[in-house]
Structure formats: C-alpha cells, structure tokens
Chain A
C-alpha cells in the first residue's frame, strides 16, 4: 500500500508541474499588451517610454524563461504574485472568492449523489417499468441541457413566479450559513443537474450488471428479501465505479461553474478567472487556473487512493 501511495503521489506531483508549465506558457502568449491594459488606456495613448517603464516594473521585459523560473520560484514559496488589475495579492483575492465556489461544488455534489444514486437504484431494480423509462428519459435530457441555460431558466422562473431578484450581496457561509445555502442553492442546482443525470445513469448500468451476477442469485436463493439483496449485496459492490465518477466529475463541475457563476453573478473563482483571462491579468489567471487544476489533480489522487483502499486488487496492478 505504501508503495502504491508513493507512486500515485509522484505521478500527481509530475502532473502538477506539467499543469504549471502549460498554464504559464498559455497565459504568456495571450495577445494584447498587459502593460497597455494595465495603464488603463488604449494603445498609443501613452508614450513608448512610459510603457517600457511599466513593463520593466512588472518584469515583463525579461526573457520568458527567466519569467517562468521566477514564477516557479515564487510558487514554491506559495506566493502567487500581485494581480495586475487590482494590485492586491492574488492569493488573498482567491481566498476571498474560493469559499463560494467550494460551497457550490459541495452542494451540487450532495444534490447529485443524494438524488442520482437512489434514482439509478430504482431504475435498475424496476428495469423496463414506466418509472425506469421516465427516469432514463430525464437523465438523457439532463445530460443534454447546458448548465448555464438551466441557470438562466431558474432565474426566469424565480423572477416570474416569486418576483425574485438576484442577491446583490452573497452572504459568506460562516457569517450566515442558512442564508448562504438558500442563496447558493440555485447555482448549485443549475450546475449539478448534469452530474445528477450522469450518476443516475451510471448507477443504473452498474446495478444492472451487478444484479446479474451469480452471488446475487445466491443471495436471492437464500431467501433474502429483495431490499437486502439490492442494498446490501448489490449496492456495496456497485458503488465503487460511482465513487470514481464523482471524483472525476469535480473537474466538470469547475468547468460548469465558470459560466454558471457568470449567469448568477456569484463572486466566486469561476467568474474571477473569466475576468482575469479576458483582461490579460496574467498573475491572477495563472494563479486561479493552477489552483483549479491542482484541485482536480488532488481529487483524482484521492479517488485513486480511495479506490486502492476499497478494492485491494487495484493496488497490485501497475495501473496507469
């Protein structure tokens, strides 16, 4: 097990270095001069000399390799630099916004698992029934609907039915947990529907496979009640792939949040990264992209380790 963990950690670290490299070079080839953007004027409005000063102050006149080395060096000290736009440390900007994003992701996952697993179970246990057909049709539809459109529809519905208006101020969780949950539930539903559909589909297909196994027939032959057979013997064996799916879907959730936060105007990381990328705020964009990708790597690593713990067979194989 130790060997397994060490190998996984090493691969995770290498991946993170790759992520940092890709992030850096992707951001540094962004067109549009950051110095011009920063000085807040269109090109030509300020003299070349002033621009050069701004560039050298920001370190943008150094060779790319030197800038990369400097950035990595700072990273190693957990320093993400200053935002070009606001002049604030990127790390504190991220820290301020991250709780919203994290809360939406967690709430979306809870909704998706709490509804998706039972839906898939019901579907599999009553395969072919009208209930199964309805649930399957719903999940196929859920997979096709873009999360930001679902978000827009939710806003339309809330405004129309309840004369709702989007909150001007989003309460942080630690200030007022209940209000925060009721505010963020809508973006969480919008972004979680896809995961809900995926989990329901996956649970159904795995349970169908599991319920066809010999040991299930044995359990039934022993005279166990259908409930015990499905929940104790079936679900326990079927849950493993679902756990993997949940781990991998964290990445998709972040992707969905990038646009859903914009729809709801939630001041989270997703909206921040869009603004940073479109405004060529290198340090901020690099920092957030790196953090998001880092969370994905950690998520995958956790799934790997969890999988190794839950299913000892996977530890032995040199699985990639």
Chain B
C-alpha cells in the first residue's frame, strides 16, 4: 500500500498511468466512463433534458414511450426521460456527499482514537459497535425523520451509517502502521502526533478508504432511493429516482410499467458503475486480490 495519486504536476505521467490502468481494468474503465456520463447529464440537466421535469401534460398521462417522449410519461403526464436526467442530480449528489462525509468523518474518528489508544479508543469502539448494530437503512430513516426532508439532511442521514464502517477500516490500518518502523522513525524524529497521523498514517490508509468510499457511493444511491420511496427523503414535485417509483405498483403494472422500470434501471446502472470502479481501484491498489 502506498500513496496512490501522483502529484498533479506531472500530467503526462498521470495520463499515461490512467490509460495503463484502464487497459488493465476494462470493467473499471467502463464504470468510470458511465459515472462521468451520468455526471455530465446531471450537471447539464437543464440544457440536455427535452422537457421541464416538473410540468406535466394533462393530455398525456401514463403515455407509453414514443418519438416525443422516449421513455413515456408518468401519471402526472411528466416526461420520464427529463425526470430521469434531473433525478441524476439528486442521486449523484447524495451518493457522493453521503459517502464522502461518512468516510471522512469515520476515518477521522478511527485515525485519532485508535492512534491515541486507551479510553478514547475504547469509548469510540463501543460507540461504533452500537452504531453498527442498526441496519443501515433504519438508522438513515430515523435520522432523516429527525432532520426533516431536504437534500442536505438526506445526505447527513445517509452518511451516519457509513461512519462506523469507515472508522473500523481506518482503525485496522492504524493498528498495523502504529507498530511499523515508519511510525517509529517518525516518533524518534520528534514529529507531533498530529503530524504523524496526517503525514505518515493517513496517506497509507488512503487506498482502502477510497475503495470503501466507492462501495458506499453505490449503497448510498440505493438507500437514498429507498428513503424517497418511503416518503422520508426528497419530496414531490422534485424529480428523484426513488420518488419516481413510489406509488401503487400493482395498478401501474397494467397501465404504465415504464414508470417503475426505467428509474430502477438508472439506479442499477449507476450502482453497477460505481461497484465496477471500486473493484478496479481495489485490484490496482492491492494486487493480491486481483481477479477475485
């Protein structure tokens, strides 16, 4: 395990290494490309989407896919494709936000408490154990209900279940590193605790943290959709993938199956892409696991 990212100064080398990595991990490269396309769609949604995602056409309720509406319309006569493109904003923002916030908070807690050891470590560990006992979605649901439905609140709610998981990963790395000559040398050289954590330990825990960050990116997207579906997340008329599927599925089955099918496919594709990318990063950083 070594620090992964080459400095941005030598760009040609970075490009070459990226291309080489893409050749080694074609599935990971596919995942990265899908995520980039999704991001472009999300950022450019107002210009790319053919219709207004919140305005319905009363004459076209539950219309099947057609030349005018590629993916059909929903029960309010709104264009499905436009709502999907705008929904990518919510999903990507929440996925990225929740996984970054959760992994950073968890890593900070794990790094500091396990480096210090003693009672701080014990208390933190028991607290993390308790948090781990809650099913992820249940914890997020309870917190989302406490905070109230809004985009930032959903991000915070979904980041909480990630915290103890990231803390664990960070802790296990620290325990290994603490006993290593690397840290011993730093102590002898007179580095402060903070400096040792930030300059010597953090770079070496970066790879596993990056891997779980991509894994939780996908999971957070799925759970965000679940929260919306249950009515505890993003509220109508905002377009979100989870919200688009909410409603009586049995009646939609006969009238407009596309309303349920397409948002789920969008989630699958995004999560699949982030999982593939995560697997590729793991394989590249830890060659022992290659091909598993």
Q: What A residues does B135 contact at CB under 8 A?
A: 251-252, 254-255, 258, 292-293, 296
Which residues of chain A (139-171) have a CB below 8 Å from chain B?
Answer: 140-141, 143-146, 148-149, 152-153, 155-156, 159-160, 165-166
- Shortest A133–chain B CB gap in Å is 11
Tell me whether A274 is interfacial, beta carbon within 8 Å: yes
Tell me whether A112 is interfacial, beta carbon within 8 Å: no
Tell me whether B20 is interfacial, beta carbon within 8 Å: no
Whether A254 touches B138, Cβ cut-off 8 Å, given contacts A18-B129, A26-B143, A155-B253, is: yes
* A278 CA to B135 CA, complexed, in Å: 17
* A251 CA to B164 CA, complexed, in Å: 14
Of the candidates B126, B134, B148, B267, which one forms a contact with A14 in the assembled complex, judged by CB atoms under 8 Å apart? B126
* A20 CA to B34 CA, complexed, in Å: 42
Which residues of chain A (191-242) have a CB below 8 Å from chain B?
Answer: 204-205, 208
* A319 CA to B275 CA, complexed, in Å: 30
Which residues of chain A (280-317) have a CB below 8 Å from chain B?
Answer: 280, 285, 289, 292-294, 296-297, 300
A144–B268 contact, CB under 8 A?
yes
Of the candidates B125, B133, B148, B252, which one forms a contact with A296 in the assembled complex, judged by CB atoms under 8 Å apart? B133
- Which partner residue on chain A sits nearest B274 by CB separation? A144
Whether A289 touches B142, Cβ cut-off 8 Å, given contacts A15-B129, A152-B260, is: yes
Tally A residues with Cβ within 8 Å of B: 55
Q: What A residues does B271 contact at CB under 8 A?
A: 143-146
Name, among B143, B231, B254, B268, the residue most crowded by chain A CB atoms within 10 Å (CB to CB). B268
Tell me whether B61 is interfacial, beta carbon within 8 Å: no
Tell me whether B14 is interfacial, beta carbon within 8 Å: no
Which residues of chain B (128-144) have a CB below 8 Å from chain A?
Answer: 129-138, 141-143
Name, among A141, A145, A273, A294, the residue most crowded by chain B CB atoms within 10 Å (CB to CB). A145
Tell me whether A256 is interfacial, beta carbon within 8 Å: yes
Chain A facing B: main interface SS: helix
Instruction: Mark A249-267 against chain B: 1 for CB-CB distance below 8 A, else 0.
Output: 0011011101100110000
Chain B facing A: main interface SS: helix
* A254 CA to B134 CA, complexed, in Å: 9
Whether A160 touches B133, Cβ cut-off 8 Å, given contacts A14-B126, A146-B264, A208-B292, is: no
Q: What A residues does B90 contact at CB under 8 A?
A: none
* A284 CA to B257 CA, complexed, in Å: 36
Q: What B residues does A259 contact at CB under 8 A?
A: 137, 226, 229-230
- Which partner residue on chain B sits nearest A253 by CB separation? B135
A159–B226 contact, CB under 8 A?
no
Of the candidates A15, A156, A252, A277, which one forms a contact with B261 in the assembled complex, judged by CB atoms under 8 Å apart? A156
Q: What B residues does A143 contact at CB under 8 A?
A: 271, 275
Which residues of chain B (231-278) have a CB below 8 Å from chain A?
Answer: 231-232, 245, 249-250, 252-254, 257, 260-261, 263-264, 267-269, 271-272, 275-276
Q: 9 A-B pairs, CB-CB below 8 angstroms?
A: A31-B148, A149-B263, A152-B264, A155-B253, A251-B136, A254-B135, A258-B135, A258-B141, A320-B125
List residues of chain A with CB under 8 Å of any chain B CB. 11, 14-16, 18-19, 21-22, 26-27, 29-31, 140-141, 143-146, 148-149, 152-153, 155-156, 159-160, 165-166, 204-205, 208, 251-252, 254-256, 258-259, 262-263, 273-274, 277-278, 280, 285, 289, 292-294, 296-297, 300, 320
What 10 pairs across the A-B complex have the smallest Cβ distances? Answer: A18-B130, A255-B135, A149-B264, A255-B137, A159-B253, A144-B272, A205-B292, A144-B271, A293-B133, A254-B135
